[in-house]
Amino acid sequence: MNTALTTRNATLQDLAAMLQDQHGRKLDVVAPAATIGTRDAQLVLAGTDVEITADGVTATDGVYTPTEVFDDGLAAKLGIPVAYLRRLRANRPDLYDANVNGWLRDATPPETRSFLVRCFRGSGGGPGIARALLSDRYGIVDNLDVLMAALDGVRRAGVDVDIDGCDLTERRMYVRVVAPQIKAFAPDLLAGYRSPWGGHDVGDGWTPQRVAQAAGRESLAYASGDEPVLFAGFVLSNSEVGAGRFTITPRLTVQICGNGLTITADALSKVHLGARLDEGVVRWSRDTERRALELVTAQSRDAVEHYLNADYLTAKIRDLESKAAVPVRDAAPTVEAVAKALSFTADQQATILNHFIRGGQLTAGGIMHAVTSAAQTIADADTAHAMEAAGLRALDIAARR
């Protein structure tokens, strides 16, 4: 992975600065297959259009180092097994070139087949970065534009939010949004739960009368920070390289540990599919860009109004409580069954079991919390977000055993 393209648990300011730098280096070309090739397992563009901007004329021909995402797209477009292609890159770049160049020019006349090639320019005369090989019908919705449009939608909705953290990978951008003032007590959902990061048991002793009293006296209710409370929020996610849709997914956050429960069934999304792009450097009109981003802003505003309210939060908590209360009588086999069903690795399974034991909540809800807290320990953001998103499926599996 190219670390210059990625960040984990960044601030909003750091993410925005990184996206602005990338925005200034991006290069998108719709190139016929005849102008695409590889040499020494590097992408070579030859015979493509120049890019004309206010800064001058820039050649698009050149050498670009492919990312794993680019190799994924190349393998899919040419029908080459991706594991085989990666093996050739690592051990036999000559065979990598032979396979790629051969299939680019096989069967379909290369002059009639075009691809959208997404790149970053290099610096100091060095090679650039080949980010993705996509269909020439791919609708470009860039991370920086999505982020600004989405935040504008949140602002227009008039709800105060915090940014809980931002991740950027070669595949996707993730921005976690939390609204601490939109909160609800969940003593049954969190009964006996103990944060794996340390702290007191939560939920025990929180009778309906005590909850009602605390809800009416918030200065006391939130004095210690370990009450059984969930906050409303959502995750904003986008891919510039064909690794999924632009999505806004509701996310409930547990106050004491930061565990996130993403409600994927309620997500709003937009597919990156547009009209066929003409060959050459991609230049969308201002009107096209404006309409695409107005849709993102509107969806973000709608998501805030739908997800960031007490009624939605309370309803989701009630949906979870009955399943979460189911006892887990044998932890190891239950965690193993969850891991197998959700395709977790052996290391992930071991971490989940460890967090389940440390959490002290011996129920299906405890399994759910163990999955979502274990996700916070994963260094790879794509894996971590996929693991967190599986939390509710883990709850279902554990509750059925």
Written as six digits, the tokens of 296 are 């993102």
Give pLDDT tens digits for 207-231: 545 544 554 444 434 445 567 889 9
What confidence tier does 236 reach under pLDDT thresholds 50, 70, 90? very high
- What pLDDT is stored for residue 256 in this prediction? 77
3-state secondary structure of 80: coil
More confident residue, 255 or 274: 255
- What pLDDT is stored for residue 197 in this prediction? 80
Written as six digits, the tokens of 235 are 């995750």
Report the distance separating Cα 324 and Cα 197, nearest Å. Answer: 21
For 341, left (φ over 0), alpha (ψ -120 to 50), or beta?
alpha
Cα→Cα distances 69→131, 223, 376, Å: 6, 47, 24
Look at residues 130, 172, 322, 303 and name the one whose alpha carbon lies nearest to residue 232.
303
- What pLDDT is stored for residue 245 in this prediction? 83
Report the distance separating Cα 373 and Cα 382, nearest Å. Answer: 15
Place of tokens 């450097």: 281
Q: What is the DSSP letter of 224?
A: S
- What pLDDT is stored for residue 222 in this prediction? 42
- What pLDDT is stored for residue 223 in this prediction? 42
Cα→Cα distances 237→4, 171, 244, Å: 19, 10, 9
Report the distance separating Cα 291 and Cα 304, nearest Å. Answer: 20
Q: What are phi and psi of 90, to 5 degrees?
A: -75, -35
What confidence tier does 19 reach under pLDDT thresholds 50, 70, 90? very high
| 338-373 burial: b if 16+ Cβ within 10 Å, else e | bbeebebeeebbebbbbbbeebebebbbbbbbbbbb
What confidence tier does 31 reach under pLDDT thresholds 50, 70, 90? confident
Average pLDDT over all residues of the chain: 84
Among the ranges given (11-15, 29-33, 191-195, 293-297), the one the predictor scored with the smallest mean pLDDT: 293-297
What confidence tier does 92 reach under pLDDT thresholds 50, 70, 90? very high
What mean pLDDT is predicted for residues 164-188? 93
Written as six digits, the tokens of 48 are 């493509």
- What pLDDT is stored for residue 220 in this prediction? 38
What confidence tier does 146 reach under pLDDT thresholds 50, 70, 90? confident
- What pLDDT is stored for residue 107 in this prediction? 52
More confident residue, 149 or 212: 149
Place of tokens 């939130």: 222
Written as six digits, the tokens of 312 are 């939605």
Q: What percent of the chain has pLDDT over 90?
A: 52
- What pLDDT is stored for residue 289 in this prediction? 63
What confidence tier does 30 reach under pLDDT thresholds 50, 70, 90? confident
Provide the pairing of β-strand 128-134 with 56-58: unpaired
DSSP-assigned states of every residue in 25-63: HEEEEEEEGGGEEEETTEEEE-SPPPEEETTEEE---EE
Residue 43 has pLDDT above 50, yes or no: yes
Report the distance separating Cα 260 and Cα 343, nearest Å. Answer: 20
Provide the pairing of β-strand 128-134 with 62-66: parallel
Report the distance separating Cα 166 and Cα 176, nearest Å. Answer: 6
Question: How many other CB atoms are found less than 10 A from the CB of residue 44?
Answer: 18
What confidence tier does 393 reach under pLDDT thresholds 50, 70, 90? very high
More confident residue, 57 or 160: 160
Question: How many other CB atoms are found less than 10 A from the CB of residue 108?
Answer: 11
Among the ranges given (37-41, 144-148, 179-183, 291-295), the one the predictor scored with the smallest mean pLDDT: 291-295
Report the distance separating Cα 125 and Cα 51, nearest Å. Answer: 17
